[in-house]
Structure 1
Amino acid sequence: MASTVINGHEEAAEPEEQWTRVHHKGRRRPKAPHSVAPLCIAGGIAASVRSSSLSVPTIMEEHKRIKQQWENSICYHKLQDIFESHISLSNISDAICFGTGSFDPEDSSWEMKRKAHIQLAAFLFVVEQLQRNSSRTIRCIFQEPVFNTSDKAFIRALGHEVVDSPLAFELVSPTTLAFGVHLYRDVYAQIIDKCLPAMFIGTPQEVWEECYGSDPLDWVELDKLNKRCDKVKFPEDTGYTTFSSTTIHWRRCDEI
């Protein structure tokens, strides 16, 4: 997905139904996120699944290479330290990843492709850390409207599930890890609307409040999430905005 910078934020172009990532970059008041609408192409309704240009083996090889680079990064080692030092949840039953973006983007953007692979690697690393304290296998589910046939086949080849929107929103439970980086407010609202997940990784309340400036932020669920969770900033991916303005939230023991 191509992107533009608007009022200090990088936002993906808006073929509708794609989830825009919001990257906080400055103190100026950014444009508030928009809602998600059906995908339209050339004024008509798009096909349900976009055609692929990369094969699954090609995507798999790219993922292995990018993941290995990330595992040598400061970001990876800081994230590892966070889970070893601060977080020890034992009640996670499932993990849902919302909106990584395509591993085979329509415009072949290397930046967007890399971002998708890094976010996938980080999500699966978090699941791995949580799995150490869980007596049951954590089920991994992915929901991304821009996935094409190769994207879906790649995720399934890794041994995970892909569902179509809005099914994943309905699967969020009090024992869920919900992972979604730089998404629209409407998407976040749907993630935490039914209940607060055990862990939520995404844009924190203070960033949304800055987005809305002096306008009231009437978002009860987000306020509950902020008050009932311990929080730590997600480590930065040096030189990139992959995890900018992203926070790890996990419900305190007295809130479980």
Structure 2
Amino acid sequence: MTEIAMLEAALKESTLEESTLEESTLEDSTVEALTPVEALATEGTNTGEGTLVDGLLAESFHQEPPKREEPWVLVKSRKGGRPKPVPKPADVKTIKFEPTIKAMDPLPLLSKEAIAGQHFYTYREYKQSREYRVLKAIIKEFVRDTFKDSASGEDPVRKAVCLGIGSFDPENGSWSVKEKAHVQLAAFLLIVEEIEKFCKKPIKCIFQEPAFEVSDIAFITSLGHEVVESPVAFDAVDSHTFLFGVHLYRDVYAHAFKNGDFPALFIGTGWDVWSDVNYRWEPEECTLDAIEIMEKTHKKFAFPEAKGKNIFYGTSIYWD
């Protein structure tokens, strides 16, 4: 056999082997591709056990399909924990205007004895002060000017009117208010005492203060003085009166001078203070012409004031 024939024979033999290998591979792949049910069916057909296979197939068709697992849901946490509930607008309004402090009950009224005790210390302290020594020197000059021609006649000063001194027992218990009332009363009474030294008769003292409580009235009357309602004190002012009114309203001064008489001695807010106050409209009954005239025609002194105090700030002393 020639070499070519040998090669052709070998080629045929290899081709035959490849075709045989492909057929066997195809058969194996067919078997592997069968499902378990198909495999059972094929096996039952080949072995003649058709009844068993049919039973298995029928049972497999009545089985429930496998449950599908639900995917996990990841919940992300919020920063700060659970959010706080937002109040309704009505609740916000209630919280905003709800009072946090209950109103205090009004303080009980002081007795006239308690007020008298407080006044005793204030009176003694003021009488020993430098301010009173200066005030006393001014009053002595007033006495020399006023009483020089009254040796055989009537007293130039017969009554003293005190207006708007304030309460000795204010509702809020403020000591600054009490102090002003006590110091002003001490100054008023000390002036009266100094003038009375040159009078033939005691000077009648009249008090008018709308803010007076029952205890205030009891205290003043216990000193032997009179407390009246408005306008009794206004009507009592004449040329024989010592008029005392510190830091009063404009209309109060106007009513005190409504009679047209200049008091023998006037202590109150001076014209230098009132002239700096501008009014767009001034009622006729509130004019202070009398004080303006006294500024030009009367003697005038500034009322002595303790350093750091304003009890007599802007107060002047006038007499003819």
Smaller-chain TM-score bracket = 0.7 to 0.9
Higher strand share: 1
Q: Distance in 1 between matches of 2:291 and 2:121?
A: 36
Q: Distance in 2 between matches of 1:228 and 1:175?
A: 18
Q: From 185, 189, 201, give the equivalent of 2:267.
A: 201
Structure 2 counterpart of 1:46: none
Decide which moves more: 148-157 or 84-93: 84-93
TM-score (norm 1): 0.74
Q: From 67, 73, 76, give the equivalent of 2:123.
A: 67
Structure 2 counterpart of 1:183: 248
Structure 2 counterpart of 1:224: 293
Structure 2 counterpart of 1:211: 277
Could you tell me which amino acid in structure 2 is paired with residue 200 of structure 1?
F
Structure 2 counterpart of 1:159: 224
The offset of 1:133, in angstroms, is 1.8
Give matches, 1:1-256, under 5 Å. 53-88=109-144, 89-90=146-147, 91-194=156-259, 195-212=261-278, 219-251=288-320
Q: Per the alignment, in what secondary structure is the counterpart of residue 186 of structure 1? A: helix
Structure 1 counterpart of 2:16: none
Q: Distance in 2 between matches of 1:204 and 1:143?
A: 21
Q: Distance in 1 between matches of 2:229 and 2:129?
A: 33
The offset of 1:211, in angstroms, is 1.9
1:208-238 superposed Cα distances (whole Å, 9 cap, x missing partner): 0112289999632222222332111110033
Whether the 8 Å contact between 2:161 and 2:241 is mirrored in structure 1 is: yes
Q: Distance in 1 between matches of 2:180 and 2:262?
A: 27
Could you tell me which amino acid in structure 1 is paired with residue 244 of structure 2?
F
Whether the 8 Å contact between 2:254 and 2:287 is mirrored in structure 1 is: no
Q: Distance in 2 between matches of 1:143 and 1:213?
A: 27
Q: Per the alignment, in what secondary structure is the counterpart of residue 257 of structure 2? A: helix
Q: Which has the larger radius of gyration?
A: 2
TM-score (norm 2): 0.60
Q: Distance in 2 between matches of 1:51 and 1:174?
A: 42
Give the direction of change, closer, same or farther, for the CA distance of 1:86–1:175 in structure 2 (3 Å limit): closer
The count of aligned residue pairs is: 202
The offset of 1:183, in angstroms, is 0.4
Q: Distance in 1 between matches of 2:196 and 2:307?
A: 27
Q: Distance in 1 between matches of 2:253 and 2:298?
A: 16
Whether the 8 Å contact between 2:303 and 2:315 is mirrored in structure 1 is: yes
Structure 1 counterpart of 2:72: none
Give the direction of change, closer, same or farther, for the CA distance of 1:169–1:218 in structure 2 (3 Å limit): closer
Q: Distance in 1 between matches of 2:161 and 2:107?
A: 24
Give the direction of change, closer, same or farther, for the CA distance of 1:120–1:165 in structure 2 (3 Å limit): same
The offset of 1:51, in angstroms, is 9.7
Give the direction of change, closer, same or farther, for the CA distance of 1:158–1:92 in structure 2 (3 Å limit): same
Give the direction of change, closer, same or farther, for the CA distance of 1:215–1:237 in structure 2 (3 Å limit): farther
In the TM superposition, structure 1's runs of 4+ consecutive aligned residues that sit over 4 Å from their partners are 213-218
Q: Per the alignment, in what secondary structure is the counterpart of residue 170 of structure 2? A: coil
Q: CA RMSD in A?
A: 2.2
The offset of 1:199, in angstroms, is 0.8
Give the direction of change, closer, same or farther, for the CA distance of 1:196–1:64 in structure 2 (3 Å limit): same
Whether the 8 Å contact between 2:253 and 2:288 is mirrored in structure 1 is: no
Q: Distance in 2 between matches of 1:51 and 1:200?
A: 36
Q: Distance in 2 between matches of 1:191 and 1:224?
A: 15
1:151-210 superposed Cα distances (whole Å, 9 cap, x missing partner): 001000001000011110001111000000000010011111212111110011111011
Could you tell me which amino acid in structure 2 is paired with residue 116 of structure 1?
A
1:19-59 superposed Cα distances (whole Å, 9 cap, x missing partner): xxxxxxxxxxxxxxxxxxxxxxxxxxxxxxx9961000000
| Percentage of matched positions with identical amino acids | 42
The offset of 1:240, in angstroms, is 1.2
1:125-167 superposed Cα distances (whole Å, 9 cap, x missing partner): 1111111221221100000000010000100000100001111
Decide which moves more: 151-160 or 219-228: 219-228
Q: Distance in 1 between matches of 2:107 and 2:258?
A: 33
